[in-house]
A = this chain, B = another copy of it.
């Protein structure tokens, strides 16, 4: 059994499914999260080197729901601004009794850190454009809740795939299942790494890509790029790649629309599509707390 959650490639299919099952246990019959004092002796640290609301609050609330002490490490007010290395910082937290670090970083540093600090438990909360494993666990949990199973589905992903850690982890996670198809779509300048993917296929025409889909996942795009990259035009982008109710109507009638958030409303997805019955974006947010409770409980219990 693995000690850290760095990448979904490290989990066996059984371990992954057992996390999906475990997360459901933290939601009670009224849809509320269970607040039990399960880990009063444990201290976890939230260490975020990138701005975040959802993921950080989600882990914070999950940790408190489990009865842990949660240390909030604010990289801006810390000695990291004195030039202390992240290695020294996390080593110090470990020596201070922190049992588990939830870490987000703009670069791919977590695996190396975990190697140098074998006594600390690491949960990757988003690393560069490499991995965001808890987001994929949430997405698979949400798909399974709505579709009953992850097998035999037609899944389409659209957006800025090249910069997305979400899609990297999703491909790792979904490769455990017998999906019917996995279609990548989006502006060619944002999909260069997915033109000839290891699994699935690239379809530049989103209308074709969403046809008969069971699951359509939109990814966040960096809308600042439209101001700096002359080859991109926002209106044209929206015309070609925005998820609209028209496009959703080409998917299966019970197709679900997903987005890891936060949404750039009326860019990646129209507000009407966001508010539609097909949208399960808000379910993803709610499942986030349950899944992070499951991940923390699982990796604190070793």
A→B interface (CB under 8 Å):
32-33, 35, 40-41, 43, 45, 48, 51-54, 56-58, 60-61, 64-65, 69, 71-74, 76-85, 88-89, 91-93, 95-98, 223, 261-265, 282, 285-286, 288-289
**Given A53-B92, A88-B261, A285-B95, A43 contacting B71 (CB threshold 8 A):** no
Q: Sample 25 A-B pairs with CB under 8 A, ordered by A number.
A: A35-B40, A43-B61, A43-B64, A51-B77, A51-B79, A51-B82, A52-B79, A53-B78, A53-B89, A54-B92, A56-B78, A57-B93, A57-B96, A58-B96, A60-B71, A61-B96, A61-B98, A65-B97, A79-B262, A88-B262, A88-B263, A92-B261, A92-B262, A95-B286, A96-B288
A55 to chain B, nearest CB (A): 9
Query: How many angstroms from the CA of A54 to the CA of B78 in the assembled complex?
Result: 8
**Chain B residues near A77 (CB, 8 Å)?**
48, 51-52, 74, 76
Query: How many angstroms from the CA of A85 to the CA of B65 in the assembled complex?
Result: 26
**Chain B residues near A72 (CB, 8 Å)?**
72
**Chain B residues near A79 (CB, 8 Å)?**
51-54, 262
A73 touches B57 (CB 8 A): yes
B97 touches A289 (CB 8 A): yes
Choice from B45, B51, B85, B264 contacting A265 with Cβ under 8 Å: B85
**Given A52-B79, A265-B85, A71 contacting B95 (CB threshold 8 A):** no
B82 touches A71 (CB 8 A): no
Choice from B61, B91, B262 contacting A282 with Cβ under 8 Å: B91
Query: How many angstroms from the CA of A14 to the CA of B41 in the assembled complex?
Result: 32
**Chain B residues near A98 (CB, 8 Å)?**
61
